[in-house]
Homo-oligomer: A and B are copies of this chain.
Amino acid sequence: MERIRVGIVGGTGYGGIELMRLLLSHPQAMLHCLVSRSEAGRRVDAVFPHLRGHTDLMFEAEETADLTSCDLVFFATPNGVAMRQVPVLLENGVRVIDLAADFRLRDPDLWARWYGEPHACPELLQDVVYGLPELNRDALRDARLVANPGCYPTAVILAFLPLLRSGAAPLGALIADAKSGVSGAGRRAVVGNLLAELSENFKAYGVSGHRHLPEIKQALDAVAGQTRELLFVPHVVPMIRGIHATCYAQVAPDIDVQALYEETYQREPFVDVLPQGSHPETASVRGVNLCRIALHRQSESGHVIVLSVIDNLVKGAAGQAVQNMNLMFGLPEDTGLRYAPVVP
């Protein structure tokens, strides 16, 4: 089989860097073109010396890049960029995975409200496949345009999915208290993300409303078949990578949640349900495409507590995008994604 010819638009953010790492060692894909406005004309390994010895590619400007000859283009751009470039690629038969938020919400009005501008191609929104394989594996195989899920949504949806699908949590609000390393904020020059500001510090942010809230709610409501109150509070942890979602739900008293989760995920290659009472660590998934989940109940409580960890740049972004690529091109789903994390 010929290798998949891959393009990346936005190769200099953390999502793009991670995509390059994964694709440079992927046995069935080849990087064909890398687009970066800011670094066009420079060798990739001059911009990112950690890639010396792994690629001779150069970043190209959007105008000169040969994207239409790719089989697949990943967008790892800021929100609002992909929606302006995707239609012409699709018309040329190029398939697309967008790692940004442009195609995640089905309702263009909701999108406009949360992202502050009208959507550029609302007519495409109904054909998008939301790229969470654990929800939409079959649809992904034939997808032309995939909306890769947000990092928080990946961790939170996988945490609640078995409860909602089975009807085991019929009552009350769902609460997702989520914590993320700072790479989730992207590779942008912002005073608030300096080491001197964030290290030895912890805080919540966006508590009154975060863009991942409607994305999570859309997926969970679809699974549950009804709308539910959902509280979502993100925090920033003084570390680079990793998301830990601590999720709370009221459950029917007779439910064996451990069995429910093990059964739901037993055939999933990238969801690992730990023994009851475990405490998954973000370090245990650092650099790998995996969600680890553990379940707890406190004495006499009607609630279950679900702990869910991922690497925000892998299962929460680039790794999941490669998993989706594998599905779209008929490859074994774990191609290029099977290796152990670097610990410690």
Whether B302 and A229, one on each chain, are in contact in the complex, defined by CB atoms closer than 8 angstroms, is: yes
Chain A 159-210 interface residues, beta-carbon cutoff 8 Å to B: 172-173, 175, 177, 179, 181-183, 185, 187-191, 193-205, 207-209
Cα A188 to Cα B191 in complex, Å, equals 6
* Chain-B contact segment, one of A44-52, A64-72, A145-153, A324-332: A44-52
Whether A239 and B194, one on each chain, are in contact in the complex, defined by CB atoms closer than 8 angstroms, is: no
Residue in B209, B281, B303, B340 whose CB lies within 8 Å of A231: B303
Residue in B179, B195, B229, B244 whose CB lies within 8 Å of A198: B195
Cα A300 to Cα B238 in complex, Å, equals 31
**Does A226 lie at the interface of the complex (its beta carbon under 8 Å from any beta carbon of B)?**
no
Contacts of A188 in B (CB 8 A): 191
**Does A83 lie at the interface of the complex (its beta carbon under 8 Å from any beta carbon of B)?**
no
Question: Most B CB atoms within 10 A — which of A51, A179, A244?
Answer: A179
Cα A339 to Cα B196 in complex, Å, equals 21
Contacts of A24 in B (CB 8 A): 340
**A101 smallest CB distance to B (angstroms):** 19
Contacts of A195 in B (CB 8 A): 182, 193-195, 197-199, 238, 240
**Does A104 lie at the interface of the complex (its beta carbon under 8 Å from any beta carbon of B)?**
no
Whether A340 and B284, one on each chain, are in contact in the complex, defined by CB atoms closer than 8 angstroms, is: no
Contacts of A231 in B (CB 8 A): 248, 298, 301, 303, 305
**Does A116 lie at the interface of the complex (its beta carbon under 8 Å from any beta carbon of B)?**
no
**Does A32 lie at the interface of the complex (its beta carbon under 8 Å from any beta carbon of B)?**
no
Interface string of A263-301 (1 = CB under 8 A from B): 000000000101001111111111100101000111111
Residue in B193, B197, B200, B280 whose CB lies within 8 Å of A200: B200
Whether A287 and B342, one on each chain, are in contact in the complex, defined by CB atoms closer than 8 angstroms, is: yes
**A160 smallest CB distance to B (angstroms):** 15
A297, closest chain B residue (CB): B208
Cα A344 to Cα B21 in complex, Å, equals 11
Contacts of A242 in B (CB 8 A): 200-202
**A49 smallest CB distance to B (angstroms):** 5
Contacts of A299 in B (CB 8 A): 209
Q: How large is the interface on A (under 10, 10 to 19, 20 to 34, 35 or more residues)?
A: 35 or more
Residue in B14, B177, B207, B232 whose CB lies within 8 Å of A196: B14
Cα A203 to Cα B181 in complex, Å, equals 12
Whether B189 and A283, one on each chain, are in contact in the complex, defined by CB atoms closer than 8 angstroms, is: no
Cα A225 to Cα B196 in complex, Å, equals 39
What are 26 contact pairs spanning A and B, CB under 8 A?
Answer: A25-B339, A49-B278, A49-B284, A50-B341, A52-B274, A173-B303, A175-B248, A179-B179, A195-B199, A199-B199, A200-B241, A200-B286, A201-B239, A201-B242, A204-B279, A204-B307, A207-B296, A207-B298, A207-B305, A207-B307, A208-B296, A229-B302, A231-B305, A233-B246, A237-B237, A248-B248
Question: Which residues of A pack against B, CB within 8 Å?
Answer: 14, 17, 21, 24-25, 48-54, 172-173, 175, 177, 179, 181-183, 185, 187-191, 193-205, 207-209, 213, 229, 231-233, 235, 237-242, 244, 246, 248, 250, 272, 274, 277-287, 290, 292, 296-303, 305, 307, 309, 339-344
Q: Nearest 5 pairs between A and B by C-beta?
A: A201-B283, A50-B284, A287-B342, A189-B189, A177-B177
